[in-house]
Structure 1
Amino acid sequence: MAKLYFYYASMNAGKSTTLLQADFNYRERGMATMLWTAAVDDRAAGMPIASRIGLEADAHRFDADTDLHADIRERHGRATLACVLIDEAQFLTKAQVWQLADVADEANIPVLCYGLRTDFQGELFPGSAALLGIADALIELKAVCHCGRKASMNLRVDAEGRAVQSGAQTEIGGNDRYVALCRRHFSAALRGGAAVPTAEDMR
């Protein structure tokens, strides 16, 4: 029986890289896949899914109105799908997560979702909350804080590298806007500590 998987992590843990490697493994064996990513994230200059180490792939884009179940089943009817892979899964709606569960349960297609667990205030994204609630398998991918501990939090920073404590839940950005931290340093930054080292600072 196919399963719904949620691979979650903080920023810079290699989620897109892991997704693209899984996709490659299927395609190398002659199996068809279907890739999706959030339309709201348009940072990639080339392919819609791009990792920090240079891997990239084309993908369908979803927004809040996309019927993933219908689109996946239509594609599956034309060419048998071995797997569906979702990048930026935190941007899924609750209804879309249930659609993906139906894809696994009814069409017997494994669905692999990759995304952030929490936002810059430590709050769950709607898609992540739904996946944590109903996914068959939860897998944490590890990132590292500048202190060497596991980074589990995503701190939003301003141009001076200081913590941003308010604003919209979704603000697309990379290493210039977000820093992956352990909970201890995340909390310290929110209390008004010194500027946080960014990925560029650590090089």
Structure 2
Amino acid sequence: MAKLYFKFGAVGASKTANALMVRYNYLERGKVPVMLKPRMECRDGEHTIRSRIGLEAECAFVEDFLESMKHHQGDEVDFDVVIVDEAQFLTTQQIDELAAIVDNYDVSVICYGLRTDFQGEGFEGATRLLLIADKIENIKTVCWCGRAACFNARIDNQGNIIRAGDKIVFGGTGTYISLCRKHYYQGITSGNAMNTDESLSLVEE
């Protein structure tokens, strides 16, 4: 049975690499995946999705894909799965339209993205996915201290956390880092800022 998936994680959790590997797995089995991203996400070029470890694939824009689906006729489609990167930037309406593809054509839609912005507030697309997705998965990564990272901190050139500003500012992992809740609120972005030893811990379930 087809499902709407939301796989979220903090910055650096390998969400894009995961999405590209899922695409590869479908191709390897002779299936047809559709790879999408929001139009505003053009750091790697207009029609390219690229991970930090060098994996990449061609993609289309979510907006163009959804517009084409409005004119689709018939009960079947010529693809087997829809994979969406950076889904946090989508609107509520766009998420609902992706959900309709799952329900109307029995095709799974797998969305990857951040859950919260640099202020710990929800993105529109992510919030909608958390409400209506059939299956939600946390792709885990770790803070510098070893705890599970769940916050996306925006930092300046000196490594200080920026607490105010525009909700969306594109940049590489040099602009954003993932932190656990404790160190996000304390504003500590590395072990060098600690005066006392802090024991490392494994990511907690």
TM-score normalised over the length of structure 2: 0.86
Q: Distance between the aligned counterparts of 2:5 and 2:148, measured in 1?
A: 22
Q: Distance between the aligned counterparts of 2:60 and 2:45, measured in 1?
A: 15
Q: Distance between the aligned counterparts of 1:181 and 1:34, measured in 2?
A: 32
1:178 alignment partner in structure 2: 176
Task: State the 4+ residue runs in structure 1 displaced beyond 4 angstroms.
Answer: 72-79
Q: Is the 8 A contact 2:47 2:60 kept in 1?
A: no
Q: How does 1:46-65 map to 2 (within 5 A)?
A: 48-62=48-62
Q: Is the 8 A contact 1:73 1:103 kept in 2?
A: no
2:190 alignment partner in structure 1: 197
Find the structure with the greater CA-based Rg.
2
Indicate how the Cα distance of structure 1 residues 88 and 10 shifts in structure 2: closer, same or farther if over 3 A, else same: same
Where 2:83 maps in the other structure, the secondary structure is: strand
1:107 matched to 2:100? The reply is no
Q: 1:39: how far off?
A: 2.0
* Identical amino acids, percent of aligned pairs: 39
Indicate how the Cα distance of structure 1 residues 69 and 175 shifts in structure 2: closer, same or farther if over 3 A, else same: closer
Which of residues 84, 91, 112 is equivalent to 1:86?
A: 84
Q: Distance between the aligned counterparts of 2:67 and 2:46, measured in 1?
A: 27
Q: Is the 8 A contact 2:4 2:109 kept in 1?
A: yes
Write the deviation string for residues 17-69 of structure 1: whole angstroms up to 9, x where unpaired: 1000100000011111111012222221596210111100000123xxx2644
Q: 1:74: how far off?
A: 6.0
Q: 1:80: how far off?
A: 1.7
Q: Is the 8 A contact 2:154 2:161 kept in 1?
A: yes
1:16 alignment partner in structure 2: 16
Q: Distance between the aligned counterparts of 1:154 and 1:181, measured in 2?
A: 6
> Alignment length, in residue pairs?
190
Q: Distance between the aligned counterparts of 1:76 and 1:84, measured in 2?
A: 18
Q: 1:79: how far off?
A: 6.1
Where 1:111 maps in the other structure, the secondary structure is: strand
Q: Is the 8 A contact 2:39 2:46 kept in 1?
A: no
Indicate how the Cα distance of structure 1 residues 111 and 139 shifts in structure 2: closer, same or farther if over 3 A, else same: same
Which of residues 103, 114, 124 is equivalent to 2:122?
A: 124
Gaps of 5+ in 2: 192-205
| 2:160 partner letter | R
Q: Distance between the aligned counterparts of 1:76 and 1:146, measured in 2?
A: 51
TM-score normalised over the length of structure 1: 0.87
Q: How does 1:129-168 map to 2 (within 5 A)?
A: 129-168=127-166
Q: Distance between the aligned counterparts of 1:50 and 1:164, measured in 2?
A: 26
Q: Is the 8 A contact 1:47 1:56 kept in 2?
A: no
Q: 1:160: how far off?
A: 1.0
Q: Distance between the aligned counterparts of 1:100 and 1:67, measured in 2?
A: 12
Write the deviation string for residues 67-106 of structure 1: whole angstroms up to 9, x where unpaired: 6444247689796211000000000100000001000000
2:44 alignment partner in structure 1: 44
